[in-house]
């Protein structure tokens, strides 16, 4: 088997997560790593067991590298994705796809013209029970969607001493909690329900209006301890917490809450989707169990077990029931579908994986949510 050679750009939290998932695919080789300087690239490549290291421009010149994973801070996604496509590389980009809709639209058009495989890392779709809920809805088990309640809660920015580049709008954009984790939530809700969000009403809150920025580099989730003299006070203009009311194209409603200051919630996405036949409830911190609510008769608990699930959901399951699968498996399952397309050499007509067009869609919703918060009123999507 001739392996597809991949270059990964960026080595923060998510870059190594991509690398670990890619290494679990038999037809893929993580051949090269890229960082901002040649020295840092070499250091990171050595630590991750990757033979070749480059700066970004050097990476794009490597003819044997077929695919590029963009795992850098948000402000680089557009320029690096564009350059990679123009260099003839397939591109898998972290979300958000770009910093604004104009950039995202350009990338969607460029990708379509190129015919190259393009994907955005909305990996949370690939929890097996998320796929199962979608298939159950498609087969009519849920019925008409009456309402949606969603939340995505974290505590990694709980203290005013917690700091990361995502707090800086020039690197991350004008929205933080909504753009960072709310985008995953909005994507998976539309993916499962099949509904489109047509209007939003948002209200943001910045809990820590001033934070203490470390004067030394601290990586995401590293938990490094610094002394008081190692910090500088900086004003914060992006949201720690957000509530959003939603209107859907079937005439019904929903609500989401997103927070990065909820103590004890490390990375919890919860969904409750009420339909005319049943209610589905699911929690990403206990991803192998799904609650099914019934008006007449017993409620049910479905464990992630391929023998109990629809065949259309089994494709994203690798292990039998009782052998739990979690966050690292979502990227593996997504990349497996993406690299089937790359092996075929072009973007499928109807991709099963999230594409640049999906990235544009979520950026559109996030921008409308941001606009709604500024106006303190309803905004159509």
pLDDT at position 228, please? Answer: 75
Q: How far is CA 103 from CA 110, 168, 351, 368, in A?
A: 11, 19, 22, 16
Is pLDDT at 224 greater than 90 in this prediction?
no
Contact 194, 135 (CB under 8 A): no
CA gap 67, 57 in Å, rounded: 14
Looking at the chain, list the stretches that DSSP marks H as alpha helix, in order from N- to C-terminal side.
14-22, 38-48, 56-60, 77-86, 101-114, 128-138, 169-172, 177, 183-193, 311-314, 327-344, 356-375
Contact 54, 32 (CB under 8 A): yes
Q: Is 80 helix (H, G, I), strand (E, B) or coil?
A: helix
Q: What percent of the chain has pLDDT over 90?
A: 90
pLDDT at position 171, please? Answer: 82
Q: What percent of the chain has pLDDT over 70?
A: 97
CB-side exposure of 121: number of CA atoms within 13 Å? 28
Contact 48, 17 (CB under 8 A): no
Q: Which residue has the tokens 């796809």?
A: 97
Q: Is 375 helix (H, G, I), strand (E, B) or coil?
A: helix
- Among the listed residues 8, 4, 85, the one whose alpha carbon sits nearest the alpha carbon of residue 54: 8
Residue range 118-136: mean pLDDT, rounded? 98
Q: What are the tens digits of pLDDT across the range 279-297? A: 999 999 999 999 999 999 9
Contact 77, 94 (CB under 8 A): yes
Domains of the chain (ranges; CATH) run 4-116 (3.40.50.720), 124-380 (3.30.360.10)
CA 319 to chain centre: 23
Q: Which residue has the tokens 């039998």?
A: 320
Report residue 229's pLDDT band, with 50, 70 and 90 as the boundaries. confident
């Amino acid at each position: 088997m001739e392996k597809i050679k991949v270059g990964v750009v960026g080595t923060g939290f998510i870059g190594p997560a991509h690398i670990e998932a890619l290494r679990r695919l038999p037809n893929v080789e993580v051949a090269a790593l890229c960082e901002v300087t040649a020295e840092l690239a070499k250091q990171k490549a050595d630590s991750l067991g990757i033979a070749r290291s480059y700066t970004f421009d050097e990476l794009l010149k490597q003819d044997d590298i077929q695919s590029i994973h963009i795992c850098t801070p948000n402000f680089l996604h557009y320029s690096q994705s564009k350059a990679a496509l123009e260099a003839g590389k397939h591109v898998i980009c972290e979300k958000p796809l770009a910093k604004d809709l104009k950039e995202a639209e350009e990338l969607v058009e460029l990708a379509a013209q190129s015919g190259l495989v393009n994907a955005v890392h909305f990996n949370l779709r690939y929890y097996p029970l998320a796929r199962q809920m979608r298939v159950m809805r498609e087969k009519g088990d849920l019925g008409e969607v009456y309402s949606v309640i969603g939340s995505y809660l974290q505590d990694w920015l709980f203290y005013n001493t917690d700091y990361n580049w995502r707090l800086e709008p020039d690197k991350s954009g004008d929205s933080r909690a909504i753009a960072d984790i709310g985008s995953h939530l909005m994507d998976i809700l539309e993916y499962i329900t099949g509904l489109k969000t047509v209007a939003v009403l948002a209200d943001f809150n910045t809990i820590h209006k001033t934070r203490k920025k470390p004067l030394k580099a601290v990586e995401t989730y590293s938990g490094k301890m610094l002394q008081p003299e190692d910090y500088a006070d900086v004003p914060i203009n992006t949201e720690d917490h957000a509530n959003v009311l939603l209107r859907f194209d079937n005439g019904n409603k929903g609500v989401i809450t997103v927070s990065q200051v909820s103590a004890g919630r490390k990375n919890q996405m919860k969904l409750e989707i009420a339909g005319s036949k049943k209610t589905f409830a699911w929690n990403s911190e206990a991803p192998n169990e799904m609650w099914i609510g019934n008006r007449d008769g017993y409620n049910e608990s479905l464990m992630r077990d391929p023998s109990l699930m629809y065949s259309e959901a089994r494709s994203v399951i690798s292990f039998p029931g009782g052998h739990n699968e979690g966050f690292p498996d979502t990227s593996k399952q997504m990349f497996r579908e993406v690299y089937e397309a790359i092996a075929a050499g072009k973007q499928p007509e109807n991709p099963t994986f999230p594409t640049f067009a999906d990235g544009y869609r979520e950026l559109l919703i996030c921008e409308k949510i941001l606009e709604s918060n500024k106006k303190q009123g309803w905004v159509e999507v």
